[in-house]
Structure 1
Amino acid sequence: MKNFLLTPEEQQVAFDAAWIYRKNSVIQKVMELLGQLQQQLAAHAVTGMFSFPERCLQQGAKISKGERYKELPYVILDYPRHFEREAVFAFRTMFWWGHYFSCTLHLAGTAKARYAPALAAGHAQLAAAGLQVYRQEDPWQHDFENGNYTPVAALAPQEWIALVEQGSFIKLARPFALEMWEKVIPEVVACYATLLRVLQTG
C-alpha cells in the first residue's frame, strides 16, 4: 500500500508554505470582520429595544474557528447568544471557506415557543428579506446544500404557520456570496434588524 504517496497536485501544496500564510491571513481578517460586525450589532437601536431572554446579552459575543466543517475551515460569531438545555436564542454569523457567509437565527425550547406566534405572523417580512427556513432534524448543520433550507417566500402563509408550530426548534438563515465581502457587514446587520423587529412586533 502506497496511499501515503502524494499526487502532483498535493505535492504542489505540500512543498509551498506561502499558501498557508495567505490562508492564515484570510482567517485573521475574517475574525476582524466578525469583530466589527459584533460591534455594529451591539450598537444597533433594535438591540437596545429588544426584549431578549434573560442572560442573553450577558453571555457576550463569542468568535470561534475550526478547520473541518465539511472538511473546510470556518469562523463563527455568536451574538447575541443564549445556549441552555431548555432554551436557545442565538444569532450566528458564519464564514465557510470557499462557499459563503451566512447569518442564522436559532430558536429552541422555551425561546422558540415564546416567539413562534410572532414568526408565524411575520411571513411577509421574512420572505421579503430573503430568509430561508431549515428543514432537517439536526439543528447543528449550517450549510444550504442537500435541501437543508427552503426560502420562506416559497411557502404559502398556511404552510409557513404549520412549519413554525411544529418541532422544538426553528432556524432562519440567509447566505451571502463571498464576493459581497465588503458589503457583508451591513447586509447581516439589516437581516438581524429585520428578524428582531419581526419577533418584537409579535
Structure 2
Amino acid sequence: MENFLLTPAEQEVAYDANWIYLKNSIIEKVMLLMGRLQTELATHAAAAGFPFPENCLEQGAKISKGERYQELPYVILDFPRYFSKERIFAFRTMFWWGHYFSCTLHLAGEIKTAYHAALVAGYPLLAANDFQVYTQEDPWYHDFENGNYRPVGTFTVDKWEAMVYRQDFIKLAKPFALNRWEKIIPDVAAAYAALLALLQYKTG
C-alpha cells in the first residue's frame, strides 16, 4: 500500500512556498543566461566563415526547459542546431539542477562522416582541453553519470580513432561546475571555439 504521509523533511518543503519562488527565479535567470550565451555564440569570431551545414543556422536557437531530467529541473540551449532523422549538427548547452552546466557537440550521419579526419586529428586538442566523448548507443542521455562519457585523454591514439568510427554519431562534451556561474558564458564560448577550430582542420 502506497504511503501518502509526509516525512518531516517533506513537510518542511511542502509548508514553505518561498523555495518555489526562489526556484522559479533561478530558472528565469538561467533562461536569461542562455539567451546571452546564444548571442555570444552567434557573434563569436570562431563562427565567422565556418562552413556550417546547410539549414543549420536557419533553424535558429531553441531554449527549452523541463522539470524532470533524471527527476530534476533543466534548461537547454540548442545553437547552432540542425536535426533531421539522418543528419545532426548541434551544439547544446545544458543547466542541470544541483549538478552542473555542460556543453555538447553532437554530429550524426553524413555530417559526422565529413568530419572523420578532423575528429581523429583533433585528439591532442580534445585531450588537452578535457573534453569527453559519449560512449553509449542511445544518443539521448545528457548527463555524465553511469559511464555515459569518458575523457578523450584516457584513449590511446589508435583507440580514439576506433571510437570516432564506432557508430553513426559522436558527442563531444565538457561539464562545468555550477560555481562557474558568472564565468559560464566565456567558458562555453571557449569550448565552442575550440570545437569549431578542430572541425576545420583537414576538412577541406
TM-score of the aligned structures, taking structure 2 as reference length: 0.97
Secondary structure at 2:200's aligned position in 1?
helix
User: What residue ranges of structure 2 are gaps of 5+ in the alignment?
Assistant: none
Q: Give 1:156 shift.
A: 1.0
Superposed counterparts of 1:8-157, under 5 Å: 8-157=8-157
Q: Distance in 2 between matches of 1:97 and 1:166?
A: 32
Deviation >2 Å, runs of 4+ = none
Q: Give 1:5 shift.
A: 1.0
User: What residue ranges of structure 1 are gaps of 5+ in the alignment?
Assistant: none
Q: Distance in 1 between matches of 2:68 and 2:140?
A: 14
Q: Distance in 1 between matches of 2:57 and 2:129?
A: 25
The residue number in structure 2 matching 1:161 is 161
Q: Deviations over 1:50-85 (max 9, x none)?
A: 101100000000000000000000000000000001
Q: Distance in 1 between matches of 2:171 and 2:36?
A: 24
Q: Give 1:49 shift.
A: 1.6
Matched, 1:182 2:169: no
The residue number in structure 2 matching 1:170 is 170
Q: Deviations over 1:12-41 (max 9, x none)?
A: 111110000000000000011111100000
Alignment: residue pair count:
202
Secondary structure at 1:49's aligned position in 2?
coil
The amino acid across from 1:180 in the alignment is R
Q: Deviations over 1:113-148 (max 9, x none)?
A: 111111011100111111000000110000001111
The amino acid across from 1:112 in the alignment is K
Q: Distance in 2 between matches of 1:45 and 1:19?
A: 40
The amino acid across from 2:63 in the alignment is I
What's the RMSD between the two structures over aligned residues? 0.8
